[in-house]
Amino acid sequence: MRLKLLSPGEMSDNQRQTYEESIAGKRGKPPAPMMAWLSSPDMARHATRLGEVLRFDTVFPAKLSEIAILVTARHWTAHYEWYAHKRLALQGGMKPEIIEAIRDRRTPEFDDPKAKMIYDVAKSLHEGHGLELGLYDEAVNVLGERGLVEVIGLCGYYTLVSMTLNTFEFGLPEGEVSELS
């Protein structure tokens, strides 16, 4: 880890307020990257709030939103992010074969058209830097405008998360080994 994570006693008032707000939120604890973001407390506060909305308040159940998150973690080879969200995806009901395919950079087979569309949109955003008109039209048709906006939000937010975790070299919990190479 390239960064010394502050304990609450070492935080400024603004940092501690942001930290305590994250504990009081739906997660019940601060998200790992927020501990790095605390160097900029206002950014940390806003990013953490956005992350909470994207994790808990989108139109998608976890097994769908986790597709965009895992595609993003894989795109960035974000070891900690993959570790954390693979577990959440499984808890949300995602099939292990889908997770394995994303890990191995293969296109998964989906039964649900929304799941396939979220995957296609996330891949296009990361690899193509946007959506071609045909994919855009199909995404609006399948996901709705709000759904498309939220997939873009998931990919963008978890890009920030992945960049933070990678830059500061957040490690996996003791005894855990990364599945990503």
Percent of the chain at pLDDT exceeding 70: 100
Cα–Cα distances in Å, from 59 out to 66, 67, 69, 100, 151?
A: 12, 14, 15, 25, 10
- Cα 21-25-28 angle, rounded to 5 deg: 105
Predicted confidence band at 29 (pLDDT cuts at 50, 70, 90)?
confident
Mean pLDDT of the chain: 96
pTM exceeds 0.85, yes or no: yes
**pLDDT tens column, 122-162:** 999 999 999 999 999 999 999 999 999 999 999 999 999 99
Instruction: Indicate whether 89 pLDDT > 90.
Output: yes
